[in-house]
Structure 1
């Protein structure tokens, strides 16, 4: 495992976590073969609609996310030999079942993503072009190679909600493209402000956790605009996002 200096305490924590996960996974048997054996043909078909290189690449992504969940449950990265030995034992014992649980959640995510992709292909009218482009960009930002680990196992249920909201948006889009364009413009303004915030992060440095959380706040804003019946876990609006950005900038 490569050693790299961290510029901030937050980046040090991120590097320590990633390094711990890698060491732990090198020290336990891979559950990928066992996962393949437990999957039905229907599940394998659903999982085949993925942006990864192949099925094994997707399952590796799920295993990393499952390892993160187990490391968190064990109290986080270990800082001494005894702690690492205990962490390794905990992950070894729990990984096969934890990984299978993640795969089942990812199956639902990818099923929704595939349905959204098919719906987008059917929306060809010029009046909905801007909305379709925005929806396509959102889908790409949520579902990409490595999305399971990046998103985190504990946020996969939120990902299901975001994709369900997107699916409902596309169902309604042909009936009221004007309203959708207004909501798309709102999201666009917020995303521009978020990109400006990201531009303040020094090159080569990971965004701080509070900046990364804003990305999910914008997803919640989309839910509130395009699929209000799904509800959000906290109040969210364009103004609240701007206030959160201002709080980070100080």
Structure 2
């Protein structure tokens, strides 16, 4: 099983030795800690890779991949072969969001390319649906009130932009993503018809979430005498309510935020009546949370684009477990228990 091999416990001589070679064949560094090498040289390596990729494109063609406000660059391949001397490098092209335009750039990491391309594609739809976006920006219901509740996280402009971008996400960026101009234009017209209604729906949900959030930091202070519960609640709130919670959270999960936040309020109210019960349930849940946190930390250390759908899913299962343990009255979409999540975690390690 994967869990039987803990890399951090292996003697150093069992780890693979990595060399960092520049574009001229010179060795820059060597070591067994890939995460550390990536952290130190990742940006430099990506820049060198893009320089090589740029030289592989004829100057006459390079312009068609820059300053893009529409899909005017033909079909975008998922993979590019780039030849440098006797070497063949593989690159992953992506649309890169530059605010008022996009560029096509090539990346050496497929997950990083996919993440950047998704955001770039969203920007290209925004540029093409400029009039609809302007209308939405001017007509978000209760924006000022929401901005007041969002103040501790960010500005009104940031909140408005996230609502617009999430509307574009839902209107235009459902899988599979377009790979050519015809597919892009079809998706654009489909999205145009739905964009305003989706923005209204998202704004209502965000308003509900922020209304629940508004008094929560103060409410949590009531749990301060109960140290472990208070720390757990603070950590939960910090993970849920980030500055970019609207656009960074899949909409299907964002819809559950009001229930998660209500569950925190109910937990604080119950805590004062029976702190030992809360403490016992924290002890039951903590090993699962720590396992997930360690796996997340290890994943982040692997590189810029590292992602794991199973870890993301488990993160939301932990949120549902909190509801099941501390606010049962709110119900969960499916039965949740510590034993069930232990089995899920074990299956993920195979």
Match of residue 244 from structure 2: 146
CA contact (8 A) 2:222 2:268 kept: no
Classify 1:6/1:92 alpha carbon distance in 2 versus 1 (closer, same or farther; 3 Å). farther
Gaps of 5+ in 1: none
Structure 1 distance, partners of 2:267, 2:296, is 28
CA contact (8 A) 2:167 2:195 kept: yes
Extract structure 1 runs of 4+ deviating beyond 6 A. none
Does residue 224 (structure 1) correspond to residue 324 (structure 2)? The answer is: yes
CA contact (8 A) 1:161 1:230 kept: yes
- Cα offset, 1:191, TM superposition: 1.0
Structure 2 distance, partners of 1:223, 1:146, is 23
Structure 1 distance, partners of 2:214, 2:286, is 24
Q: Which structure is richer in relative contact order (CA contacts within 8 A, separation 6 or more)?
A: 1
Match of residue 5 from structure 1: 107
Classify 1:177/1:227 alpha carbon distance in 2 versus 1 (closer, same or farther; 3 Å). same
Match of residue 247 from structure 1: 347
Does residue 23 (structure 1) correspond to residue 121 (structure 2)? The answer is: no
Secondary structure at the counterpart of residue 332 of structure 2? coil
Structure 2 distance, partners of 1:32, 1:221, is 41
Classify 1:6/1:249 alpha carbon distance in 2 versus 1 (closer, same or farther; 3 Å). farther
Does residue 212 (structure 1) correspond to residue 312 (structure 2)? The answer is: yes
- Cα offset, 1:246, TM superposition: 2.4
Match of residue 98 from structure 1: 198
Secondary structure at the counterpart of residue 125 of structure 2? helix
Q: In terms of mean alpha carbon deviation, does 193-202 or 143-152 score higher? A: 193-202
| TM-superposition CA deviations, 1:181-220 (whole Å, max 9, x none) | 1122233221111122224422323322111111001001
| Greater fraction of residues in helix | 1
- Cα offset, 1:71, TM superposition: 2.5
Structure 2 distance, partners of 1:6, 1:211, is 23
Gaps of 5+ in 2: 1-94, 97-104
TM-score (normalizing by structure 2): 0.63
Classify 1:25/1:6 alpha carbon distance in 2 versus 1 (closer, same or farther; 3 Å). farther
CA contact (8 A) 1:66 1:153 kept: no
| Greater fraction of residues in strand | 2
Match of residue 185 from structure 1: 283
Secondary structure at the counterpart of residue 107 of structure 2? coil
Secondary structure at the counterpart of residue 242 of structure 1? helix
CA contact (8 A) 1:16 1:77 kept: no
Match of 1:173 among 248, 271, 276: 271
- Cα offset, 1:91, TM superposition: 2.4
Number of positions where the alignment pairs a residue of Structure 1 with one of Structure 2: 244
| TM-superposition CA deviations, 1:68-91 (whole Å, max 9, x none) | 211255x54111110001112222
- Cα offset, 1:65, TM superposition: 1.5
Match of residue 65 from structure 1: 166
Secondary structure at the counterpart of residue 79 of structure 1? coil
TM-score (normalizing by structure 1): 0.86
| TM-superposition CA deviations, 1:110-156 (whole Å, max 9, x none) | 111123222113444x3x12211211111111011111111122322
Compare CA radii of gyration and give the structure with the larger one.
2
Match of residue 129 from structure 1: 227
Structure 1 distance, partners of 2:305, 2:208, is 33
Match of residue 36 from structure 2: none
Match of residue 236 from structure 1: 336
